[in-house]
Structure 1
């Protein structure tokens, strides 16, 4: 990376390189377009000229909400902002939930402009009419800059003087825990973390990167777009919507272009495996893949083992699976395992996973209904610090479960325009509370789960993914299709256990399915299920993380009452039929 201090310097350096490297836009099986970093630099300056003509100045905010089928336009606008010291605010475009997300974000900004596709604006209008967001939508409409305006060939924009502590962009959280929060990332945060990532996986000019993740997601934009650009290696960007249509194309293209670095989440691995089926690809040789980053929450061991097994005939190495820990608040990376090791797991007693407790480790052959399998993510990256604290922020020794906190040059110092949230999450001496629970083993972090997702019944702590995994032996259930949630009771400290199941068939067919889930949980975990509810979709973030809080919020608002009543009616008829048949 040399002496690069800002992202702008990284782009200028790669653009000036004699190497013809850049971005391959994968828009279909046989549709590819190449943009060199030099072309990206010049094209971004042209867009910057038009942005500056529209009155945008250093420090102004620009919301970018563009469909992923136009990643080319997105990267030009994004880098135009970086060069002009304008603050880009990327927002994903998918469904109704993101319509309200962009409106909430707009309200949090100071005086933003917006570049939103006309189709996106029309979609927003459909969702917002008759809600409290109508006025906000009108403000977005009035502040919008058309794509035609910024893509005209008018001139070359002025590059601003940029410092390390200047805001590079605002990464609004994907919303796995509630309203989006604006993570302020400076050039120093990003350049530091990118350097640590490159050092961590031993990146070189011989590498190349492939991504299907959204450019609005931290892994998509930092790990698989900014990093390749600064390292000056080729990168391949595939629209997430194309991955959803044809996930096998991801690996096909990696094989074709001999790509060395890629990434996926639980959702991505599972989705790919479901579509792979038993087809044999005789031309695949995946020995080119050096590292496959997996920072899912939590990492599903069964899925990655199945992925490695299914692709082992194509020479995918086991040590290519790189199980890491990261988050937007840390720019991206927090902890990496040693680059030359296979991923490792440990088994622990589930009943020892309470804050402050010494975590009791079991041998692999002691696996039982009281054991829980966890992935060891690794050591903190060079400029990031990790510690474990109890609920009173007392530092805990190695081996004890607690709240994970981080600090360092890669970690955000504030949440945009939100001093209350900043004070709540980041201590005065710079330690940020991640919201995750975990412990240190031999100097390496082991993440157990999100603290807000913990379920407490009869004084015992349970983790949703543990409950969900126990049900995956039931036919029709796999990761991402069952969600265990705690319903916090307002009057007693005990949680109610609510299970949501992805189910699109008739309610009559649901009864046995639901009873099977209840039986497994009662027999294997020894807790009662309060309700099992069929849902036709499960809310997830752009990276595939389940948004449990949204399901509980809908439950509290009574949005599942119709389903609950139907299940009760069918169950009642079934009981009556059973009694009648006995008589």
Structure 2
């Protein structure tokens, strides 16, 4: 049954709140299944979910949490997240989902949000709380510790309880949850979303994706991300369809399991940003996948970062023998301020793209159409038109709509769009104008009634589907003793398969002296932010506005225009001799390990004695290296061994000793 039949296209017959949606769905027989491993799954019906949430709500209330209170949700797995999320929603408790990562940037974010909110409670684990308290000590925020401890609700203390709470009286205008992202100063900004915002956008998502009650959703997107929680939990639940959730960590470790489960469950709808396609392709072995049947797939939402048409074509071609259709990849555009969705392409269409001249990408420029063969051409993916009940225009500085093929600011408005930011009237006023148009911070143009994005003026870095703030990354770099008085600027540049991070550094010395500084920058960003740097580029000065603000967008444009090609070639050549200082014996374990690292990080020059963490390995690359090692040396190495033996030579010695011990 199509959504158009179920709800007769009438917003009045659509659930008005999330509480009403779950109560409706609990009357059916559909379910949510948590995929924990290849042969480890847990299925919970929506009726059971409703019951579990009411039991947990009672415990929250007994702990002193009341309707209207705020609850920071630091869940360690999807099952826990969903249970606590719905307990809070049913109780009128405002949910604040945050990443429970153990990285310093995640801890900093939690403490910043904790201080910004109005005496929030925190749902977390005992171990995560101890890590948070330790971080507070290390970063001179020890005064927060008593408040953190007093407001924490530990998952381990949850006990089976026969008592159930009654759902609170919820109104559409009540706040459901707050999505926090980084603001213009690096401090988190809270996007406040009401039940009405969410239900309006969910209805638009279901209509725009031509959803039906026969759909089966399967996703590995994190539930702390709007695509994960709204697109692949709330939307399927509202429609009353079966949904399968696997963790992002499981996907990173076993990317082909995503395809295996799509095939096994006959999933029709899934999602992945660019890096997910790239990650799958790295490990995909057609000769070992004869069992795959992807013919049931109808859509894979592709958003969260700049979309690569070339990568989509490669993914299509690789999976075509397994029933994958060329119109499955579904380019979309969204942002937290829109709840989730702002623009959709036509679900039945293949990915569409155009070529433009990359030398005409300043605000107000008329876009020059080009071709693949022409010099300075840049391929851009079309992102469709505004979803139903949402307005979307490209405008100038004055907020006036621009003609097609004119580069400007992307503005949106509608019932799905937030009315403002948490406790930040100044930011709200600067972002939403008198006519209700919200400035997304993205820039782009309209081509044949479809949106094309070219970049961002807001200082948000999105790499591998994860959000980082330029200011935070720059501050991490500038704490390095090697930086001295030099300054750093972070921005995205085109990578092989989507957006990548470049760090620009003011520098006037010799290039060969720059290499240790570049390595230190890679290391600190990998360690403290969990992000890999594609290029570290020395520049004499930053382009700035008349008020002195760094124009990161212009740095990215200069990179695209090829202005740093000669400098990067010199840096790569200067790094080359270091890679030849030590030669591994042909066929040795060390040489095999070197080959794995070259495959995972082809752009990096690595010698056997390099500490992988000091040269800036990302968590994704680390996991990929471990996967290759596990294939080469089955059951001989744990992921934690890479921390104990962080260089190629040390790891090779460890594996050689393992072999001796087994003899």
Pair 1:276-2:284 in alignment: yes
SS in 1 for 2:196: helix
SS in 1 for 2:26: helix
Would the alpha carbon gap of residues 266 and 503 (structure 1) be closer, same or farther in structure 2, given more than 3 Å must change? same
Q: Structure 1 residue aligned with 2:67, among 44, 48, 58?
A: 58
Q: Structure 1 residue aligned with 2:438, among 432, 436, 451?
A: 432
Which residue of the partner structure matches residue 628 of structure 2? none
SS in 2 for 1:351: coil
Which residue of the partner structure matches residue 57 of structure 2? 48
Q: CA deviation at 1:3?
A: 2.9
TM-score under structure 1 length normalisation: 0.80
* Residues 222-371 of structure 1: pairs in structure 2 closer than 5 A: 222-364=230-372, 366-368=373-375, 370-371=376-377
* Structure 1 portions without partners, runs of 5+: 456-462, 473-477, 490-497, 505-512, 541-583
SS in 1 for 2:383: strand
| 1:17-64 per-position Cα deviation (integer Å, ceiling 9, x unaligned) | 2xx211101000100110000000000000111111222221100111
Which residue of the partner structure matches residue 418 of structure 2? 412
Which residue of the partner structure matches residue 198 of structure 1? 206
The 8 Å contact of residues 49 and 154 in structure 1, kept in 2 or not, is answered as no
Pair 1:39-2:65 in alignment: no
Which residue of the partner structure matches residue 570 of structure 1? none
| 1:517-541 per-position Cα deviation (integer Å, ceiling 9, x unaligned) | 99xx99994413667697514599x
Which residue of the partner structure matches residue 536 of structure 1? 616
Which residue of the partner structure matches residue 421 of structure 1? 427
Q: Structure 1 residue aligned with 2:502, among 462, 470, 484?
A: 484
Instruction: Point out the more displaced range, 386-395 or 84-93.
Output: 386-395
SS in 1 for 2:213: coil
Would the alpha carbon gap of residues 502 and 383 (structure 1) be closer, same or farther in structure 2, given more than 3 Å must change? farther
| 1:491-524 per-position Cα deviation (integer Å, ceiling 9, x unaligned) | xxxxxxx9999989xxxxxxxx989999xx9999
Q: CA deviation at 1:150?
A: 4.1
| 1:156-184 per-position Cα deviation (integer Å, ceiling 9, x unaligned) | 11211111111011111278983321111
Pair 1:10-2:8 in alignment: no
Would the alpha carbon gap of residues 393 and 501 (structure 1) be closer, same or farther in structure 2, given more than 3 Å must change? farther
Q: Distance in 1 between matches of 2:248 and 2:100?
A: 11
RMSD: 3.0
The 8 Å contact of residues 122 and 151 in structure 2, kept in 1 or not, is answered as yes
Which residue of the partner structure matches residue 531 of structure 2? none
Name the count of aligned residue pairs.
Answer: 500
Q: CA deviation at 1:263?
A: 0.3
Pair 1:88-2:114 in alignment: no
Q: Structure 2 residue aligned with 1:76, among 80, 83, 94?
A: 83
Which residue of the partner structure matches residue 642 of structure 2? none
The 8 Å contact of residues 306 and 498 in structure 2, kept in 1 or not, is answered as no
Q: CA deviation at 1:269?
A: 1.4
Q: CA deviation at 1:270?
A: 1.4
The 8 Å contact of residues 202 and 339 in structure 1, kept in 2 or not, is answered as yes
* Residues 91-130 of structure 1: pairs in structure 2 closer than 5 A: 91-94=98-101, 95-130=103-138
| 1:520-567 per-position Cα deviation (integer Å, ceiling 9, x unaligned) | x99994413667697514599xxxxxxxxxxxxxxxxxxxxxxxxxxx
Instruction: Point out the more displaced range, 317-326 or 428-437.
Output: 428-437
The 8 Å contact of residues 47 and 77 in structure 1, kept in 2 or not, is answered as yes
Q: Structure 1 residue aligned with 2:31, among 10, 22, 27?
A: 22
Q: Structure 2 residue aligned with 1:468, among 471, 494, 497?
A: 494
SS in 2 for 1:102: helix
Pair 1:384-2:384 in alignment: no
Would the alpha carbon gap of residues 212 and 343 (structure 1) be closer, same or farther in structure 2, given more than 3 Å must change? same
Would the alpha carbon gap of residues 175 and 272 (structure 1) be closer, same or farther in structure 2, given more than 3 Å must change? farther
Would the alpha carbon gap of residues 166 and 452 (structure 1) be closer, same or farther in structure 2, given more than 3 Å must change? closer
Which residue of the partner structure matches residue 550 of structure 1? none
Q: Structure 2 residue aligned with 1:372, among 358, 378, 394?
A: 378
Q: Distance in 1 between matches of 2:14 and 2:206?
A: 14
Which residue of the partner structure matches residue 468 of structure 2? none
Q: CA deviation at 1:134?
A: 2.1
Q: Distance in 2 between matches of 1:236 and 1:288?
A: 15
| 1:413-461 per-position Cα deviation (integer Å, ceiling 9, x unaligned) | 1111221211121223211111101011111111111124699xxxxxx
Q: Distance in 2 between matches of 1:409 and 1:500?
A: 47
* Structure 2 portions without partners, runs of 5+: 1-6, 8-12, 462-489, 508-516, 524-533, 540-556, 573-603, 605-614, 621-663
Q: Distance in 2 between matches of 1:514 and 1:330?
A: 32
| 1:294-325 per-position Cα deviation (integer Å, ceiling 9, x unaligned) | 01321122222221111111010010010000
Would the alpha carbon gap of residues 241 and 158 (structure 1) be closer, same or farther in structure 2, given more than 3 Å must change? same
Q: Distance in 2 between matches of 1:129 and 1:148?
A: 24
Q: Distance in 2 between matches of 1:109 and 1:228?
A: 30
Which residue of the partner structure matches residue 548 of structure 1? none
TM-score under structure 2 length normalisation: 0.70
Q: Distance in 2 between matches of 1:524 and 1:225?
A: 38
Q: CA deviation at 1:339?
A: 1.7
Pair 1:449-2:455 in alignment: yes
Q: Distance in 1 between matches of 2:182 and 2:558?
A: 34
